[in-house]
Amino acid sequence: MNSISYMAAYKLYRYGINPASFSGTLPALVGHRDVNQTSCPANIHNHLTTLRTLASSEYDHFNARPFVTSDYEVVKGMNSDAVYLVLNNQLRPLTGPGQRDCYILAYHGRMRSVSEANIASRSKGSSAGTCTPPDNTWYYPEASLQQYVLMYGGMYPVGQGDVTVLGGTNRARPLSDAGIQYLHDHYVSPDIPGHILIKGATQPSVYDANSSILRHVPNPDRRDCLISQIGEVRNVPDSLITTYQSDGKVNGSAATCTITTGQILNPDGMTVARVVSGTRRQVGNPTIRNCIMVRTDTGTPYKVSQSAWNGFSAGAAAFCPYDSSIRFVKEVSDPTVWRVFSDGRKQHADGFCVSDPFTTPLPKYHVWVVPNGETLGHTDDGHWSATPSNCAAVT
């Protein structure tokens, strides 16, 4: 009885019909003998009144559920062919199955059927824009096991080795022929943005990608120099390299590297310095070295020749720059709290602006606990007094 009433409520809810309602003299929920002679015994007929009551209660539960959605979800009315993309609490019409399947692939992985009342409760916007899935979206055609990954504006087939290295294991979703055709028709031309280092996932060659052109990195020394300037090498599908080669986007000249920033390692294999505006600032300890690597998004220190090392004039000690939201720091094993400034100064915080600065939710007064030694390199500039005016001036 519960199962039948639940199913009846769900079916009728799709069309906005209360199971306890009537159309003329005919109830919404009927038995065989209510409309025609039948040889079916219809023993449940005596329970229809109870079923209508139970189903009506379930119907009210369906109606009472809030219509909750998230951006880029695909929804449709249960008795309508119109399909929508949810964006900023509006329903934006999708123009065809290819666009629909593209958005399903790129975001939530499903289309949700909802009541017509839910559809009517939301305002309608203009047609949804072109679907361009984010990088590292994985799919395979419905009729094939060949996997593809979307990356840097291209659709690249991947081999088993690519899948493992690129982290695509168990991530690919099936995509309809209409969805694949939509990507072919609307996806932008392959174009690696910015300036990065790449290599094919299963190939040793490294390329400097800049302005949509790939330049071969000729040796490990050049590679390490470029890593110190623009960050680590990123793996891409082998087919991406092949595509750029076939499109004539691989420049015949080798990549060059000029040290303008990052950290350098002395030929002694021990001494590290950070290059800032043509000067060489000595890095005091591994904690600062690692902090600079993370905060400035550069790679490991690059070992240079002695002449290259001497080519930079010696400057002040290197310090690790703090994020713009950080004002006060203390090291793990030192109770001293420092007021830190973006120019590398630090001042002993003499008093605090709040009664409990270690737990305050206000970011400008929060004391960040950092590894031992990380505040070295900042120039000690005396005391910072927590007067009302000084506290009010912290921004």
**Coil, strand or helix at 10:** helix
User: Do 156 and 148 touch, CB atoms closer than 8 A?
Assistant: yes
Q: Treating both helix axes as pointing N-terminal to C-terminal, what angle do 2-13 and 48-64 enclose, rounded to 10 degrees?
A: 50
Helices (H), 15-151: 48-64, 97-106, 116-120
User: Do 338 and 329 touch, CB atoms closer than 8 A?
Assistant: yes
**CA 302 vs CA 101, 264, 279, 316, 368: distances in Å:** 47, 5, 15, 20, 30
Residue 228, pLDDT score: 87
User: Do 334 and 372 touch, CB atoms closer than 8 A?
Assistant: yes
User: Do 94 and 84 touch, CB atoms closer than 8 A?
Assistant: yes
Beta bridge partners of 210: 195, 213
* One-letter amino acid for residue 57 of the chain: S
DSSP string, 213-233: EEEE--SHHHHHHHHHHH-PE
Per-residue pLDDT of the chain (395 residues; tens, 9 = 90+): 999 999 999 888 877 788 999 988 899 998 877 887 777 766 788 899 999 999 999 988 887 778 889 999 999 988 789 999 999 999 999 999 999 999 999 999 999 888 888 899 899 999 999 999 999 999 999 989 899 999 988 899 999 888 999 999 999 999 999 999 999 998 767 788 889 999 999 999 999 999 889 999 999 999 999 988 888 899 999 999 999 999 899 998 999 999 998 999 999 999 999 999 899 999 999 999 999 988 887 788 999 999 999 999 999 999 988 888 888 899 999 989 999 998 999 999 887 776 555 566 677 778 889 999 999 989 999 999 877 788 778 87
Q: What are the extents of the domains in the chain? A: 2-64, 74-120, 195-247, 263-314, 328-393
Residues 6+ apart with CB under 8 A from 197: 206, 207, 208, 209, 217, 223, 226, 227, 230, 231, 232, 233, 234
Structure token pair of residue 230: 């623009």
